[in-house]
Structure 1
Amino acid sequence: MNLQDMPPLAPTQIELPLATDTVAEPFRQPAADGFTLGGFMWRHADTDLTRPAVIINAATSVRCRHYSRFADYLFANGFDVITYDYRGIGESRPASLKGLQASWTDWGALDFEAMLKRAQREFPGQPIDVVGHSFGGCAAGLGASGALIRHLVTVGAQFAYWRDYAPAHRWRMFGKWHVVMPIVTMICGFFPGKRLGWLEDTPAGVVRDWSTPTARYETRPSGRAAHATTGRLPFATVNAKILAISISDDPYGTVPAIERLLGYFTGSLNTHLRIAPEDIGEAEVGHFAFFRSAYQATLWPIALSWLQNGELAPGTPGRTVPRN
């Protein structure tokens, strides 16, 4: 079978265009190693030191444009907002991905760290909050300046340990992400995800991190390198109030997967909110749909309340998961 003939194994439910009425400004930002990142910024005209600035960390191989309507929503509710693409993706993609040195740890320790520094520079004195989708929640713990984060909201955040996948989907997902993806990457020099309908094209180093079947982040290829440098990972430097949102029909964001990542944030107060689609009158939501504009009235206010107050609003749908 040719690569172009291989069907996507699951819908991704991605919204790509920037909203037509957006006030976002494009920017270019070098990371500490000189790699140029691209993104968008929503900035209010007046200065207000009480106004939080929110950085949105994307999921693996999802373009930052997917989050533009959610960024519009936060902006309309009084936040300044930064969205960006990790190196190799979307606005931060070079001419070729072959030979590009990029890993999950690079995305957190270099790219997210650059956005923390940008927020500090562009919005001096303002609180800094973060929203992290999927791996984006993990990236939030990899920046050296994580102590800057006031509030952190994660959605389906984990780092793809295959035994944590939902049992009904586990072997199909294992075949897709831990067998097919690395084999295709080895052949092509990068993962041609767009051609397959499997999210964006992805650098080979990120594929190695994703597909390595180990339960600890520090035993992933780039996690080993980061851990070897200092003997620890920087997650514990984050002392933000964390809300981890998971959806019960998300095959990636199961309770064990969410709790596995939260276990790294030892310096934070963490709340895990588990929501079933029926809690908000839906038949399904899954892993990617939270940031679609269809959920502006039902799911987005949950994140908004936490970013504003560090608390769940009365009547929030779902249940909190007891911590071990």
Structure 2
Amino acid sequence: MEKTIITCDDGYRLTGHFFRPATDVPRGAVLIAPATGFRHQVYFSFATWLSEQGFAVLTFSNRGIGDSRNGIPLAEISSDLVDWGTLDLPAALEKLVALAPGLPVSLVGHSAGAQLIGLMPNFAQIDSYVLIAASSGHFDNLKLKTKLAAKLLFHGWQPLSVAVKGYWPTKIIGFGEDLPAGVARQWRQWCRSPGYVENSFGEEIRQHHYADIKAPVLSLTATDDHIAVPANVEDFLRLLPNAQIKKHFLEPGSFGLKEIGHSDLLRSRCKACWPHILEGLESNG
């Protein structure tokens, strides 16, 4: 594992780590695109496992998250989800291609890391995708208890706490790292209506490539995911009309697990599920 710095087109510097393949003949290169508020260290166990399977792997944190805050007070970071998709993801992909030249490239995107793939101008460099817990997150498709909690959180506490602090302090409720105000705002806006990122098409998003993606896509979702429920998974995947999509819903009990949920499929306790991810990586050949 080697620390690496990723420089985006606007000059912002992200922190990442590169894992070299442990086999003599590499099978491919994998970019792990993180969920909202997840530091890339969360994915180290999974990245290590992939390297043992023969893949070169790059993890990174989006701007404003973890090491990629660069010591800047979070209230002074003006980034949003569109920046993560149009600046951070493309730069990380270019870094991976430079570190592992000549290998077929796959993207494993977790939640937001999957939702933002169509914002990447260099998407054509990706040969296959594995989308983990990818959905629109639309509030109205959630079960009643989850929907009420989400609306209270996003429409009540979020705007109030952002107004007071200048960022969304999500760490104290177990939502990963604290979030820049722009990320919080777009997250709320996109979950209010169907289509998630689609809600900013033609406005904050002038150009996108969701319909241009034709590569194989493997969608993996846990059956106990309270956010990526089947209706929300379908709501997001419809944005990829030309992709070659396979969908699998994973039952925790089938892997000897009590729960997987929205956040844990790529954590070490769910390692029994990881061989299913190889199906999506092997389709890039």
TM-score (norm 1): 0.81
Aligned to 2:30: 54
Unpaired stretches in structure 1, ≥5 consecutive residues: 1-23, 312-324
Give the stretch that moved more between structures: 138-147 or 169-178.
169-178
Aligned to 1:245: 220
Deviations along 1:178-213, one digit per CA (max 9) or x if unpaired, are 331232112210012224443211000110111111
Aligned to 1:285: 260
Question: Does structure 1 residue 101 correspond to structure 2 residue 72?
Answer: no
Deviations along 1:152-188, one digit per CA (max 9) or x if unpaired, are 1111112432113234421112212333123211221
Shift of 1:218: 4.8
Letter in 2 for 1:82: L
Counting only pairs closer than 5 Å after superposition, residues 46-125 of structure 1 correspond to structure 2 as: 51-94=27-70, 95-125=72-102
Letter in 2 for 1:92: S
Q: Secondary structure at the match of 1:290?
A: coil
Aligned to 2:244: 269
Counterpart contact for 1:218–1:224, Cα < 8 Å: no
- The CA distance in 1 between the partners of 2:264 and 2:133, in whole Å, is 11
Letter in 2 for 1:31: C
Counting only pairs closer than 5 Å after superposition, residues 94-173 of structure 1 correspond to structure 2 as: 94=70, 95-173=72-150
Aligned counterpart in structure 2 of residue 305 of structure 1, from 276, 279, 282:
279
Unpaired stretches in structure 2, ≥5 consecutive residues: none
- The CA distance in 1 between the partners of 2:222 and 2:174, in whole Å, is 23
- The CA distance in 2 between the partners of 1:282 and 1:51, in whole Å, is 29
Q: Secondary structure at the match of 2:194?
A: coil
- The CA distance in 2 between the partners of 1:123 and 1:177, in whole Å, is 40
Q: Secondary structure at the match of 1:131?
A: strand
Aligned to 2:193: 214
Shift of 1:60: 0.4
Q: Secondary structure at the match of 2:247?
A: strand
- The CA distance in 1 between the partners of 2:202 and 2:24, in whole Å, is 42
Counterpart contact for 2:21–2:53, Cα < 8 Å: no
Counterpart contact for 1:149–1:238, Cα < 8 Å: no
Give the stretch that moved more between structures: 210-219 or 107-116.
210-219
Counting only pairs closer than 5 Å after superposition, residues 192-231 of structure 1 correspond to structure 2 as: 192-212=169-189, 213-218=192-197, 220=199, 223-227=201-205, 229-230=206-207
Deviations along 1:32-90, one digit per CA (max 9) or x if unpaired, are 11111111011248985x63110001110011111100000000000000000011001
Counterpart contact for 1:150–1:239, Cα < 8 Å: no
Give the stretch that moved more between structures: 275-284 or 118-127.
275-284
- The CA distance in 2 between the partners of 1:45 and 1:133, in whole Å, is 24
- The CA distance in 1 between the partners of 2:86 and 2:136, in whole Å, is 15
Pair 183,160 (structure 1): closer, same or farther in 2 beyond 3 Å:
farther
Q: Secondary structure at the match of 2:127?
A: strand
Report the structure, 1 or 2, having the larger helix content: 2
- The CA distance in 2 between the partners of 1:159 and 1:210, in whole Å, is 10
- The CA distance in 1 between the partners of 2:79 and 2:138, in whole Å, is 20
Counting only pairs closer than 5 Å after superposition, residues 30-49 of structure 1 correspond to structure 2 as: 30-44=7-21
Query: What is the Cα-based RMSD across aligned positions, in Å?
Result: 2.1
Counterpart contact for 2:168–2:184, Cα < 8 Å: yes
Pair 243,215 (structure 1): closer, same or farther in 2 beyond 3 Å:
same
TM-score (norm 2): 0.92
Aligned to 1:18: none
Counterpart contact for 1:146–1:235, Cα < 8 Å: no
Aligned to 1:186: 163
Shift of 1:100: 1.4
Pair 45,199 (structure 1): closer, same or farther in 2 beyond 3 Å:
closer
Letter in 2 for 1:250: D
Shift of 1:266: 2.1
Pair 196,168 (structure 1): closer, same or farther in 2 beyond 3 Å:
closer
Letter in 1 for 2:20: R
Give the stretch that moved more between structures: 105-114 or 137-146.
137-146
Aligned to 1:25: 2
